Amino acid sequence: MDRRSFLAAALASPLAAAAREDRLRRFLYVVCPGVRDYLQFGGAGVLVFDIDDGHKFVKRIPTTASSAAKPRNVKGVVASPATRKLHFTTPEALYCVDLASGKTDWGKELPQGCDRLAATPDGKTLFVPSFEKDIWNVADALTGEVKATIETRSGAHNTVCGLDGKRVYLAGLKSPLLTIADAKTYEVVGRVGPFAAPVRPFTVNGAQTRCFVCVNDLLGFEVGDLTTGKKLHRVEVPGFDKGMVKRHGCPSHGVGLTPDEREVWVVDAANERAHVFDATASPPKYAQSIKLREQPGWVTFSLDGKFAYPSTGEVIDAAAKTIVAKSADEEGREVHSEKMVEVHFRGGVPAAAGDQFGLGRKV
């Protein structure tokens, strides 16, 4: 057997195949329709992109929600390597998808509807805001059973669970306060603010000492102290007008920290940009802006901090601030979504997962 034949045989052996499969593989799971119910931005289903292969489209996972005659808009998504499940919400229901098989385990309507959820780090408990109503439902991630409720009467909307699983942060469309609840007892333990207007998308740092929040009528963000409950700063984007927006009714609907917490990025719908601020300064200092292909309504980051993902589907080199890819589906349509999460696999088994919010990860 010559050298070329020997190498071919070795590479084709079951052991070699298993070793290749055992390498870590990283994917971006994008749930559509993730900009309202607009099917022109990638259709419906869970679209998977290969982070390590130029963010190329890999496959579309159909779900019981995407197979409806008129698929509902997706409100939020989380994934857990511990439970090996991906969960997403529509305005009415919570869905559970098996990450290994891609099959939908179940879909369940929850009291008062659903919005952008969060999961505890162990993946066992979901905090699901009602659809802009009074409560958060606390649900078992494997069964969907509601275990408790947290009442804020704030127009429940966005949810973040701290990296240590001790606190959960609850923002409503009708309140200028960010509510803090104990993730074990489900009791409200504090509030932050008031901010200048109702809290929209927000993020927190890894140590859970700071929050960065979008609020109505602000092109920029405000900063709150999670330990004292006080608002610290109002940060406006310089050199740009607020302009008219297509969706969400606020100039900035999306803010995220790079995992190393050195930068905070905020989106700008009217000017179709992501604005970057130096978060090592206090208050954060404007650095530069990146032009996008449409009006953004969200931004998050890869776990390693190398890539920024605005909802308009561009993949941005976070260090160079340059666009390195633009998401498209199997039909060549632009993929836009505000609901995406990174999932890692090793040997076909989920090994790690990111978060839909751009959470700081410096602890």
pLDDT confidence band for 14 (50 / 70 / 90): very low
Q: Tens digits of per-residue pLDDT, 183-220?
A: 999 999 999 999 999 999 999 999 999 999 999 999 99
User: Shortest CA distance to 159 belongs to which of 130, 184, 185, 187?
Assistant: 130
Residue 162's pLDDT is what? 98
pLDDT confidence band for 7 (50 / 70 / 90): very low
User: Shortest CA distance to 119 belongs to which of 331, 359, 336, 304?
Assistant: 359
Alpha-carbon gap, residue 301 to 54, rounded angstroms:
15
Domain assignments of the chain as residue spans, ordered by start: 25-353
Mean pLDDT computed over 338-346: 98
Residue 13's pLDDT is what? 42
Alpha-carbon gap, residue 273 to 266, rounded angstroms:
9
Residue 175's pLDDT is what? 98
- pLDDT over threshold 90, residue 77: yes
- Positive or negative, the CA dihedral 76, 253, 213, 287 is positive
CB 298 within 8 A of CB 304: no
Q: What are phi and psi of 299, to 5 degrees?
A: -155, 140
Residue 20's pLDDT is what? 56
pTM for the full model? 0.94
- pLDDT over threshold 70, residue 4: no
| Burial class (CB within 10 angstroms; exposed 0-12, middle 13-18, buried 19+) of 9 | exposed
- pLDDT over threshold 50, residue 58: yes
Q: Mean pLDDT for the chain?
A: 95
pLDDT confidence band for 22 (50 / 70 / 90): confident
- pLDDT over threshold 70, residue 34: yes
- pLDDT over threshold 50, residue 278: yes
Mean pLDDT computed over 163-173: 98
- pLDDT over threshold 60, residue 178: yes
Residue 21's pLDDT is what? 67
Residue 363's pLDDT is what? 85
Write b or e for each residue in 176-187: b if 16 or more Cβ atoms lie within 10 A of its Cβ, otherwise e.
bbbbbbebeebe
Could you tell me the CATH superfamily of domain 25-353? YVTN repeat-like/Quinoprotein amine dehydrogenase (2.130.10.10)
Alpha-carbon gap, residue 262 to 186, rounded angstroms:
32
